Copies of this chain bind each other. A is one copy, B any other.
Amino acid sequence: MSQRILSSALPSRVGETVTVAGWIHRRRRLAAVSFLILRDRAGLTQVILKSPETVALLDELGEETVVQVTGTVAANPQAPAGVELVEPVIEPLTEPAHTPPLELWRPAVGASLPVVLDHAAVSLRHPVVRAGWEIAAASLHGFRTTLDGLGFTEIQTPKIVGSATESGANVFALDYFGRRAYLAQSPQFFKQTMVGVFERVYEVAPAFRAEPHDTVRHLAEYVSLDAELGFVTDHRDVLEVVRQTVGGMLAAVADRAGTAVERLGITLPEMPAEVPVIHFSEALKIAGADPDEPDLAPADERAVGEWGLREHGSDFVAVEGYPMVKRPFYTHPQPSGPRWSNSFDLIFRGMEMITGGQRLHRYGDYVAALQARGESPDDPSYRAYLEAFKHGMPPHGGFAIGLERFVSRLTGAENVREVTLFPRDLHRLSP
């Protein structure tokens, strides 16, 4: 290969002879002239073909064939980015490509979701399909950068675990050298104990749920963005870190995936300097729901979202105080009313986006909480977890963000699979 430059560098090279390389995105043959649109990771390049030999060569090479093109950069206000390549020499870098399973050059994705997913490795080349993941990748960057800046340490904890203590149901079992093991549903226990070591930790890693539901928002494997921090006063300190983290993720999306945002035609929300917070019992009132409901129905979340926009001009609302009965055993109760919890959901445009809260931190409280649920603190599956609390753990809390759900909320994707590279669900195990 010759020394290649990216399409984005062409506007600064007018008059020069350069080499670009990429995929044949589209060919257009007109009477007097033919066009080749070349796609590389930075964008599209228009190449003008006039010589009969070059036109004939291009006839043989189908869309998606990888080629390098050496030519002269010419200004043309009508071309993408105002430049095009003329007098090109085209050299194929592979055999002529087969016809793609969907037309990648069309502005809209002209195939059904199952077709897109069945051929993911090729469909993701479509700029619109790719845009979803570009936003995901930028979100990951923003998550880590923000937490790095707040003194967090990255951890990587095992996904093969010896027991299915956290929920019991919906867990994948595997044969582990003749023993039964499970795929971790979350790094919850690990990240909490690591607060005892690093005080503030985060992890980005797969989480596994054997979800028997075939819905637009469930995946059997998803990317979980987890954080946990010690020395908090209560869940409000956790919420403030959520605010900064989501704000950082949005800023990273704007900064690193601006083209994707534009391509999808979405409007990024602004994270307010303070997220409006209402108590769960207030949220039920706003939604006009039964005050004894233990959870918010989708319609209730929508009502809360509308309230946030109306009263505070905010796309985000935090609902705190969810009933203890609906939260896991490690949840810290609300000191002023132990029916409620020191936990919250962040509602984004009327839909739950992130769950977080304060955890118990005293060993005695864990023993009592487990016993109250009919479980034994001597169960071997709790041994290592509870050991950390025996040996001193600070008040702490944390939160988790499902990457695919976060991105689908942001992009307005109807199906979480649209923003997942290779989704796994009840029916889909490949590609």
Contact = CB atoms under 8 A, between A and B. Distances in A.
Contacts of A220: 160, 176-177
Contact of A120 (B140, B183, B384, B391): B384
Contacts of A194: 121, 124, 421
Nearest to A232: B1
B212 A430 contact: no
Given A183-B174, A421-B157, A94 B198 contact: no
Contacts of A134: 153
Contacts of A364: 95
B161 A172 contact: no
Given A193-B121, A394-B94, A206 B159 contact: yes
A364 to B, nearest CB: 6
B394 A21 contact: yes
A198 B41 contact: yes
Nearest to A99: B391
Contacts of A429: 160-162, 176, 179, 181
A2 to B, nearest CB: 9
B125 A422 contact: no
A107 to B, nearest CB: 18
A177 B98 contact: no
Contacts of A120: 384
B160 A41 contact: no
Question: Interface centre among A151, A190, A390, by most B CB within 10 Å?
Answer: A390
A141 B154 contact: yes
Contacts of A206: 156, 158-159, 205-206
Contacts of A23: 196, 392
Interface in A166-213: 172-177, 179, 181, 183, 190, 193-194, 196-200, 204-206, 208, 210, 212
A390 B421 contact: no
Contacts of A363: 94-95
A1 B193 CA distance: 20
A233 B24 CA distance: 20
Select the residue from A158, A363, A387 with max chain B CB neighbours within 10 A.
Answer: A158
A24 B108 CA distance: 61
A429 B181 CA distance: 8
Contacts of A391: 64, 97-98, 100, 122
A152 to B, nearest CB: 10
Contacts of A1: 231-233, 395
Nearest to A4: B231
Given A174-B172, A177-B210, A121 B431 contact: no
Interface in A122-153: 122, 124-125, 130, 133-134, 136-137, 140-141, 144, 148, 151, 153
Of all A-B residue pairs in the complex, the 7 with the closest CB atoms, nearest first, are A384-B431, A121-B193, A174-B174, A97-B392, A64-B392, A41-B199, A162-B429
27 contacts: A41-B151, A66-B392, A95-B362, A95-B364, A97-B390, A98-B391, A119-B387, A121-B388, A125-B197, A136-B156, A137-B154, A137-B155, A156-B204, A156-B223, A156-B403, A156-B421, A157-B422, A158-B206, A158-B422, A158-B424, A159-B208, A160-B221, A161-B429, A176-B220, A176-B429, A177-B220, A205-B205
Interface of A: 1, 4, 21, 23-24, 40-41, 64-66, 93-95, 97-98, 100-101, 119-122, 124-125, 130, 133-134, 136-137, 140-141, 144, 148, 151, 153-163, 172-177, 179, 181, 183, 190, 193-194, 196-200, 204-206, 208, 210, 212, 220-221, 223, 231-233, 361-364, 383-385, 387-388, 390-395, 403, 421-424, 426, 429-431
